[in-house]
Amino acid sequence: MRVGLLTREYPPDVYGGAGVHVEFLARELRRLIDLDVHCWGEGRTDGVRRHRPWSALDGANDALRTFSVDLAMAAALEGRELVHSHTWYANLAGHLAKELYGVPHVVTAHSLEPLRPWKAEQLGGGYALSSWAERTAVEAADAVIAVSGAMREDILACYPSLAPERVHVVHNGIDTALYRPDRGTDALTRIGLDPDRPFVLFVGRITRQKGVPHLLRAVRDIDPAAQVVLCAGAPDTPEIEQEFRDLFAGLRGARDGVHWIPKMLPRPEVIQLLTHAAVFVCPSVYEPLGIVNLEAMACGTPVVASRVGGIPEVVEDGVTGRLVTVDEDFEGNLAGALDEILGDPAAAARMGEAGRARAVGEFGWDAVARRTVRLYEEIVKQA
257-304 per-position pLDDT tens digit: 999 999 889 999 999 999 999 999 999 998 888 889 999 999 999 999
pLDDT for 142 equals: 98
Is residue 179, in this structure, part of any structural domain at all?
Answer: no
In this predicted structure, the answer to whether residue 45 has a pLDDT above a threshold of 90 is no
Q: Are residue 28 and residue 150 in the same domain, yes or no?
A: yes
What's the average model confidence in pLDDT over 347-364? 95
- pLDDT in the model for residue 275: 98
Q: Give the C-alpha separation, 238 to 146, whole Å.
A: 31
Residue 215 to residue 247: CA distance in whole angstroms: 10
What is the C-alpha radius of gyration for the chain, rounded to an integer number of angstroms? 21
| 352 domain-assigned | yes
> Is 358 found in the same domain as 214?
yes
Residue 269: Cβ within 10 Å count: 19
Render pLDDT for 54-110 as a digit per residue (tens, 0 to 9): 999 999 999 999 999 999 999 999 999 999 999 999 999 999 999 999 999 999 999
User: Residue 129: is its pLDDT beyond 80?
Assistant: yes
Q: Which domain covers residue 305, as residue numbers?
A: 186-362
User: For residue 48, with 0-12 CB atoms within 10 Å meaning exposed, 13-18 middle and 19 or more buried, which class applies?
Assistant: middle
Q: Are residues 195 and 316 in the same domain?
A: yes
Checking if the pLDDT of 120 tops 90, the result is no
The reply to whether 102 and 208 lie within a common domain is no
In a domain, 181, yes or no: no
Contact 69, 40 (CB under 8 A): yes
Are 261 and 231 in contact by the 8 Å Cβ rule? The answer is yes
For residue 180, is it within any domain?
no
Mean pLDDT of 170-187: 93
Contacts of 28 (CB under 8 A, 6+ apart): 365, 366, 368, 369
Return the pLDDT at 235.
86
Stated as kind and residue range, the H or E segment containing 306 is strand 303-306
The whole-angstrom separation of Cα 331 and Cα 74 is 45
Q: What's residue 42's pLDDT?
A: 87
Which helix (H) or strand (E) is 90 found in, with range? helix 88-101
**Count of domains forming the chain:** 2
Residue 371 maps to a domain: yes
Q: Is the pLDDT of residue 234 over 90?
A: no
Task: Give 364's pLDDT tier (boundaries 50, 70, 90).
Answer: confident
Predicted confidence at residue 367, as pLDDT, reads: 87
Confidence at residue 299, expressed as pLDDT on a 0 to 100 scale: 98
Q: Tell me what the pLDDT averaged over the chain comes to.
A: 94
Question: Residues 212, 283: contact at Cβ < 8 Å?
Answer: yes
Model confidence at 121: pLDDT above 80 = no
- Percent of the chain past pLDDT 70, that is, above it, reads 100
Q: What is the CATH number of the domain that holds 72?
A: 3.40.50.2000
- DSSP structural state of residue 317: B
Sorting pLDDT into bands at 50, 70 and 90, what band is 225? very high
Task: Using DSSP, state whether 71 is helix, strand or coil.
Answer: helix
pLDDT of residue 138: 98
Specify the pairing of strand 44-45 against strand 48-51: antiparallel
Please check whether residue 89 lies inside any domain of the structure. Answer: yes
Which pLDDT tens digit goes with each residue over 193-214? 999 999 999 999 898 889 999 9
Antiparallel, parallel or unpaired: β 82-86 and 2-6: parallel
Whether the pLDDT of residue 119 is over 80: the answer is no
371 and 248 in a common domain? no
Same domain? For 52 and 130 the reply is yes
Element spanning 375, H or E: helix 365-382
Contact present, 122 and 236 (Cβ < 8 Å): yes
In a domain, 178, yes or no: no
* 306 shares its domain with 169: no
> pLDDT tier at 124 (50, 70, 90 boundaries)?
confident
Q: Are residues 368 and 352 in the same domain?
A: no
Same domain, 255 and 303: yes
